[in-house]
Amino acid sequence: MDRVLRLGIDVGGTNTDAVLLSGDTVVATAKEASTADVTSGIARAVGAVVAARPGLAREVAAVMIGTTHFLNALVDGSHLAPTAVIRLGLPAAAAVPPLSGWPDRLRASVGGHVFMCHGGHEYDGRLISPFDAAEFRAAVDAAHHAGARSYAISSVFSPVAPDLELAAAQLLAEELPDAPVSLSHEIGTLGLLERENATALNAALRELAEVVTDGLVGAVRAAGVAAPIFLSSNDGALMGVEYARRFPVTTLASGPANSMRGAAVLAGRTSCTVIDVGGTTVDVGVLEQGYPREAPDDVSVALVPTNVRMPDVISLSFGGGSVVGGSADRPTLGPRSVGLRLRQDALVFGGDVLTATDIAVAAGRSDLGERGLTRGVPRSLVDAVLAQVRRSLGDAVDRMRLSVDPVTAVVVGGGGAIVADDLPDVAEVIRPEHHEVANAVGAAVARVSGEVDRVVTATGAGARDAVDAAAQEAVDRAIAAGARPSTVQVVDTVRLPLNYLPGEAYRVRVKAVGELALQDPLPEVRRG
C-alpha cells in the first residue's frame, strides 16, 4: 500500500486549511488566507502540506474538500443562474406560487421566472390531472425566451410518485438538451413549498457549481495531486465531484458537519458535544455515533425555508474576536467583532480594542500576544465576561444534549481559550491537538452514505418488504457512491405514519454508511 494518505481541505470565508492524514493521524497541516479566486488559496494550502517531503503528493489516495462557497453565493446573491421554477399540480396547489416569500433581492438574483402547469399526484398515487406536454413546452419556451438558463421542476407528491417530474425532465431535455434540470423528488421530502425552494436554490447554483468544481479540481491537480476528489455534504458524508455539480445545495452546511466530525476524530470520540469557536460566532453541535445530529425543523437557507437535511447547530453571536464593552455589572460581548484584524486591533497585540481574546489572556487562559498589555482591564470585568460566556455556553450545551448524563465537550477553533473548563453538567472539556484545522480533518475522514426517503402505501408483510427494499437500496447507493461493500451498514431507519390518512401510508427513511474504498478503482460517483 503506497497510497494511504488522505488530503482534507476546508475552504472557508477567511482561511483555507489543508491537512494530510494517515489513518486518523495528522501528518501535516497548513493554513492559508482564502483568496477571491478560491483556487490560488487552495493551491497554496495544498502545496504547503505536500511540500513536507518530495513525492508526498503521489501518496495521496483521496482528496476531500469542504467549502462554504455556495452558501456565500446565496447570501450575496452573486453568480446565480437565471432560473425557471415550474410546478406541476394545477388545479391544486395554485394559491402560493413558486418563490413566494423569498427575500426580494434573492428572488431578483435568480430571475423570478415561475410557472404552474397541470399535473401532480394525490398521496395514494392517483393523478390530480394529467401532464399536459403542450402546456409544459409553452412554459419552457417562455422561460427560455425570458432568459432562464437553469430549470427547477416540482410536482405535487413527487416523493410518492416521481414520474411526472421525470417525464417533464425528458421533455425539457428534448427542447433544451444542455439546460441543467433539478427535480424536487431528488432534493427534498414532503412539504411542497420547502422542497420546491430547495430545488430552486439548487438550480440557481448549478452554473456556479460547474465553475467552482472545475476550479477545485484544477487547483488540486496543479499541486501535483492526481487522486480522486470528493466534496463533503451537509451530513458530513462524501460525494463525488459529478454529484456535487448536480446537487450543490447538498454542500451548503458542510462546514458545521466537518468541524464536528473533525473534532471527534482529533479527540478520539464518536459521541460528544462540539464547541467550535470562530472569530465572530460559536457553533455548538452534537455528534451521535460519529455523525452530526440533524436539525429537527425545516431549515432556512439565506432566509428561504427548505427541507434539505442540515446538522442541528446552535450559533451564538460571539467569538474570539468579539468586542467587549460595558462594565462588570453589565458586560457586553459582540456581536461586533474585529474579525480578521484581531492581530492588529486586540490589546494583547498592541491594538486598542478590548476583545474576548484579551479577556482570555488576562485571565491566564491563553498566552497569545503580551499579557502585560491587559493590565488596565479591571479583574471584575474579566470575571464578568468569562461568567457570561460560561453561562451562554452552558445553556447552549444543555439545550443540545439528548440525555441527562453529563456530556463530553470537545472545543475546536481559534478562539477556544474563552471556553471554561468547568461548564455546567459537562464531565470533561477536551481541547485536542490540531484543533485549529478540525474542519479540514473532518473533511478528510468523511465516509460515504446512501439514502432513501420515500412514502410507502402498503400494509402488513407488504410494508415490511417495502422497508427491506428501501434498506437494500440505501446500501446499494452507498456502494455506488464509492463505499467499500464490506463496511456498509444501515445506520438509521425511520418509519413514520402519515397523519389522518385513510388506509396506511408510511414515510420510510433509511441511511447507510460505509468507509471510502481507497484502494479500489472508484466508480463515477452518484448518490440519491
Partner 1 sequence: MAERRIEREDVDAFAAGAAILGAGGGGDVRVGAHLLRHLLAERSLRLVPAADLPPDGIVVHTGAVGSPDVISERLLSPVDLARAAAAVAEQVMGPIRAAAAFEIGGLNALVGAIGAIELGLPFVDGDLMGRAFPKLTQNTLALNGVAPVPLAVASPAGDVVVVPLMGPRAVEPILAGITAGMGGAASVAGYPIAAGDLDRMGVRGSVSACIELGRRFLAARSAALPVLIGDLGARLHGVGRVEEIVPRSSTAPGTLTVIDGGDGAVVRVDHQEEFLATTVDGVPGASTPDVVAVLDNRSRRPLQVEEVRVGQAVVVCSLPALHTWPASARHLVGPSAFGLVEMEER
125 is a contact residue toward partner 1 (CB under 8 A): no
Cell of 117: 402547469
Question: Binding string to partner 1 for residues 179 to 218, with x set by CB under 8 A, is what?
Answer: -----------xxxx-------------------------
Q: Which is nearer to partner 1, 226 or 501 (CB)?
A: 501
Q: Is the peptide bond before 335 cis (omega within 30 degrees of 0)?
A: yes
Q: What distance in Å separates the CA atoms of residue 16 and residue 38, rounded to the nearest whole number? A: 9
Binding status of residue 130 toward partner 1 by CB under 8 A? no
CA distances from 362 to 44, 327, 380, 403 (A): 35, 16, 11, 35
509 binds partner 1 (CB under 8 A): no
Alpha-carbon gap, residue 464 to 100, rounded angstroms: 39
Q: Binder to partner 1 among 37, 76, 122, 370 (CB under 8 A)? A: 122
For position 126 contacting partner 1 by CB under 8 A, the verdict is yes
Judge contact between 290 and 237, C-beta under 8 A.
no
**Choices 7-15, 96-104, 213-221, 443-451 (CB under 8 A): range interacting with partner 1:** 96-104
Residues 33-92 that bind partner 1 (CB under 8 A): 89, 91-92
SS3 of 419, please? Answer: coil
Closest by CA position to 81, among listed 112, 102, 104: 112
Which one of the spans 217-225, 246-254, 377-385, 497-505 is the region binding partner 1 (CB under 8 A)? 497-505
CA dist., res. 254 & res. 16, Å (int): 14
- The size of the chain, in residues, is 528
In the complex, minimum distance from the CB of residue 185 to partner 1, in angstroms, rounded to a whole number: 12
Task: Decide if residue 94 touches partner 1 (CB under 8 A).
Answer: yes
Q: Sort strands 60-67 and 229-232 into parallel, antiparallel or unpaired.
A: parallel
Rg (CA), the chain: 24
DSSP secondary structure code for residue 110 in this structure:
H
Which residues are paired to 294 by β-bridges?
311
CB-based burial of residue 484 (10 Å sphere; 0-12 exposed, 13-18 middle, 19+ buried)? middle
Q: Which residue among 139, 156, 299, 356 contacts partner 1 (CB under 8 A)?
A: 156
For residue 192, the minimal CB distance to partner 1 (Å) is: 5
Q: Nearest approach, Cβ of 333 to partner 1 (angstroms)?
A: 16
Binding flags for partner 1, 323-352, as an x/- string (CB under 8 A): ------------------------------
Q: How many helices (H) and strands (E) does the chain have?
A: 14, 23
Residues in region 389-408 near partner 1 by CB under 8 A: 398-404
The distance of closest approach from Cβ of residue 454 to partner 1 in the complex, given in angstroms and rounded to an integer, is 14
As measured in angstroms, the least distance from the Cβ of 89 to partner 1 is 7
Measured from the CB atom, is 72 or 392 closer to partner 1? 392
How far is CA 129 from each of CA 58, 87, 133, 291, rounded to the nearest angstrom?
57, 13, 12, 42
Of the candidates 314, 373, 480, 518, which one interacts with partner 1 according to CB under 8 A?
314
Nearer to partner 1, 125 or 364 (CB): 125
Within 8 A by CB and 6+ apart from 271, the residues are 287, 288, 289, 290
Binder to partner 1 among 36, 486, 499, 521 (CB under 8 A)? 499
Rounded distance, CA 323 to CA 338, Å? Answer: 7
- The amino acid present at 365, given as its one-letter code, is R
Q: Is 526 in the site for partner 1 (CB under 8 A)?
A: no
Nearer to partner 1, 191 or 325 (CB): 191
* Widest pairwise Cα distance in the chain: 77
Q: Judged by CB under 8 A, which stretch of 93-101, 360-368, 377-385, 517-525 contacts partner 1?
A: 93-101
Preceding omega of 97 cis (within 30 degrees of 0) = no
339 near 284, Cβ under 8 Å?
no
- Residue with smaller CB distance to partner 1, 384 or 400: 400
458 contacts partner 1 (rule: CB under 8 A): no
Query: From the list 36, 54, 55, 95, which residue makes contact with partner 1 (rule: CB under 8 A)?
Result: 95
Comparing CA positions, the residue from 450, 461, 469, 460 lying closest to residue 508 is: 469
Per CB under 8 A, 496 contacts partner 1: yes
Q: How many binding residues for partner 1 (CB under 8 A)?
A: 41
C-alpha cell, 20: 494530510
Contacting residue, 33, 51, 96, 138, with partner 1 by CB under 8 A? 96
C-alpha cell at 281: 460566532
Q: Does 101 bind partner 1 (CB under 8 A)?
A: yes
Q: Which residues bind partner 1 (CB under 8 A)?
A: 89, 91-97, 100-101, 120, 122-124, 126, 128-129, 156-157, 190-193, 296-297, 305, 312, 314, 398-404, 496, 498-502
